[in-house]
Amino acid sequence: MLDLTFIRENEELLQRTADRKGIEMSIRKLLELDASRRSLLQEVERLRAERNRQSEEIAALVKARRASEGKDGGTAGKSQPPIEASPDEASGEAYEARVDEAKAKVREANAQLAALEARLAEVSAAWRSLLELVPNPVSADTPDGSSDADNVELRRVGEVPAFAFEPLDHVRLGERLGLIDVARGVKLAGTRSYVLKGIGSRLHRAVQQLAMDVLERRGFTPLELPAMMRGEAFENTGFFPTGRDQTFALAEGDKYLIGTSEVGLVSYYAGETVNLEEPIRLAAATPCFRSEVGSAGRDVHGLYRVHQFAKVEQVVVCRGEAAESDAMLGEITANAEEILRLLELPYRVVAVCIGDMSQKTHKQYDIETWMPSRGAYGETHSSSNVLDFQARRAGIRYRDADGTLRYAHTLNNTAVATPRILIPLLENHQREDGSVYVPLALRPYLGGATEIRTDA
């Protein structure tokens, strides 16, 4: 969420950003609703003050009447209401007329208030809905473009394998080696489901633990988080409202299955003032769930795009200074690259274009790992700097050197996502005899196994 003053001063920039990010909303309409909301709020406050004044006048008249009849109940010496009645007003017809007039004005104010408050609620709801859709502006060096085809390659690392035999894709490899059972996964849970078994299950967990160990060595605090969270946590992090169709809602209550532990890692500090003398570094390994609405017919083979997976996520909360959060973006991207180097996989880093970015993202790098069955690099990691977009929604602040409260910056990165990472892991490391080489860094997590074979 952005500051309203910033929105008012940058209408054209934000409308252009919304258009390029594919978000259907009107900044002009938002500002018109904001003006209406503020005008209605002023009128509501004026009427409330008038109603209160008339109510105080009635109370003063009643008190004066009781005093004239000797029924003041011993109120002498107590503070008087702001409006006092004269002796003439406190007796006879003048009293009755004054009270009736004041009561009529109260009734009129209440009627007007009811109508205005209903209108204010309607305008505020429409205003809030549009405000929640305003996109984060992108960095000056973000490439222009409309899809991932327009992302700009920054660097390549590692050599793409040149096989002297016809390589198999990960599904055929996994089935031959007894690691993957897609058919029974579909039988159990429907399309985009799978079963990992034997060393396949162990491999799935091994890459997660390797990633967590790398992050802990680099100062990240591990958290064990719920896999279901309240809607507020998704709103805090900018996954609602734009990403609501990608989540699985639970049947009872305002709870949803997470598609990333970023939701919890950021919301962990919601509503708090935190100490950011040093950046807060958090990590979690969680099951994740996505409906993948709109991706039918795209990347659906095998383990690439599935409903349930596991992710190790890293999140950084730092001071609201562009230089610091940009440095943190480099750090978390380097962490993910280190994990890929330990897995001995060739990859490339791309700068993500504006049309391939989400609402919340200011600057993003994707890491794509070589997948022989696709004959191309496929996305396996993503790093994002969202500036104070999430912190404003979640209410995460810190005190700067002058003691002033400021909103923090937050960043996130996929350290590893599995089973997707198993695609390049199996395909790049396959050998002509049907076995798969196990990278050195994974061997301690697999009982020292150096290879995966059908007779293993």
Task: Give the residue from 105, 131, 157 where a domain finishes.
Answer: 131
Whether 108 has a pLDDT exceeding 90, the answer reads no
What is this structure's pTM?
0.88
Domain extent for 445: 148-452
Percent of the chain with pLDDT over 70: 92
Q: Is 141 inside a domain boundary? A: no
Q: Check whether residue 382 and residue 414 sit in a common domain.
A: yes
pLDDT-derived band of residue 107, with 50, 70 and 90 as boundaries?
A: confident
Q: What pLDDT does 377 receive?
A: 97
CA distances to 124, 238, 243 from 30, in Å: 10, 18, 20
Q: Check whether residue 198 and residue 325 sit in a common domain.
A: yes
- Looking at per-residue pLDDT, the higher value among 25 and 106 belongs to 25
CATH classification at residue 260: 3.30.930.10
Q: Check whether residue 222 and residue 309 sit in a common domain.
A: yes
- For tokens 């018109």, name the residue: 32
Q: Check whether residue 117 and residue 199 sit in a common domain.
A: no
Q: Check whether residue 307 and residue 431 sit in a common domain.
A: yes
Q: What pLDDT does 80 receive?
A: 43
- pLDDT tens, residue by residue, 205-218: 999 999 999 999 99
Per DSSP, the residues of 35-66 read: HHHHHHHHHHHHHHHHHHHHHHHHHHHHHHHH
Q: What pLDDT does 194 receive?
A: 96
Q: Is 10 inside a domain boundary? A: no
Question: Residue 345: CA atoms inside 13 Å, Cβ hemisphere, count?
Answer: 34
d(CA 209, CA 207): 6
Q: What does the pLDDT average to over 269-296?
A: 92
Judge whether 339 and 130 are in contact, CB under 8 Å: no
Reported residue count of the chain is 456
DSSP 229: E
Q: What does the pLDDT average to over 309-322?
A: 98
Q: What pLDDT does 294 receive?
A: 62
CA angle in degrees (0–180, nearest 5) for 332-338-343: 135
Q: Check whether residue 261 and residue 363 sit in a common domain.
A: yes
Judge whether 220 and 198 are in contact, CB under 8 Å: no
Q: Is 282 inside a domain boundary? A: yes
Q: What does the pLDDT average to over 134-145?
A: 98
Q: What pLDDT does 75 receive?
A: 46
Q: Check whether residue 71 and residue 156 sit in a common domain.
A: no
Whether 113 has a pLDDT exceeding 80, the answer reads yes
Q: Is 12 inside a domain boundary? A: no
Whether 299 has a pLDDT exceeding 60, the answer reads yes
d(CA 381, CA 151): 14
Question: Which residues have a Cβ under 8 Å from the Cβ of 55 and sit 6 or more positions away?
Answer: 102, 106
Residues annotated catalytic, as ranges: 290, 305, 379, 382, 420
Helices and strands, number each (H, E), in the chain? 12, 17
Q: What does the pLDDT average to over 421-430?
A: 98
- Position 449, amino acid: A
Say how many Å lie between the first and final Cα of the chain, rounded: 53
- pLDDT tens, residue by residue, 68-105: 766 554 444 444 444 555 555 555 667 777 777 777 87
Q: What pLDDT does 97 receive?
A: 79
Q: Is 59 inside a domain boundary? A: yes
Q: Check whether residue 119 and residue 158 sit in a common domain.
A: no
Q: Check whether residue 346 and residue 395 sit in a common domain.
A: yes
Q: Which of 444, 416, 449 is nearest to 341 (CA)?
A: 416
Task: Give the residue from 96, 131, 166 where a domain finishes.
Answer: 131
Q: Which of 345, 340, 288, 285 is nearest to 315 (CA)?
A: 285
Q: Is 172 inside a domain boundary? A: yes
Q: What pLDDT does 53 receive?
A: 83
Whether 264 has a pLDDT exceeding 80, the answer reads yes
Percent of the chain with pLDDT over 90: 81
CA distances to 47, 102, 305, 385 from 105, in Å: 10, 5, 65, 55
d(CA 18, CA 242): 12
Q: Check whether residue 360 and residue 279 sit in a common domain.
A: yes
Q: Is 19 inside a domain boundary? A: no
pLDDT-derived band of residue 57, with 50, 70 and 90 as boundaries?
A: confident
Q: What does the pLDDT average to over 337-350?
A: 98
Q: What does the pLDDT average to over 334-360?
A: 98
- Looking at per-residue pLDDT, the higher value among 130 and 75 belongs to 130
d(CA 71, CA 55): 20
Question: Which residues have a Cβ under 8 Å from the Cβ of 266 and sit 6 or more positions away?
Answer: 236, 237, 315, 317, 390, 394, 396, 410, 412
Domain count, the chain: 2
Task: Give the residue from 102, 131, 160 where a domain finishes.
Answer: 131
Q: What pLDDT does 70 receive?
A: 66
Instruction: Count Cβ atoms within 10 A of the Cβ of residue 448 and give its class: 0-12 exposed, 13-18 middle, 19 or more buried.
Output: exposed
Q: Check whether residue 220 and residue 99 sit in a common domain.
A: no
Q: Which of 65, 69, 54, 56 is nearest to 90 (CA)?
A: 65
Q: What pLDDT does 79 receive?
A: 44
- What are residue 451's DSSP bridge partners? 437
- For tokens 């799935």, name the residue: 204
Q: Is 327 inside a domain boundary? A: yes
d(CA 314, CA 310): 13
Q: Check whether residue 194 and residue 82 sit in a common domain.
A: no
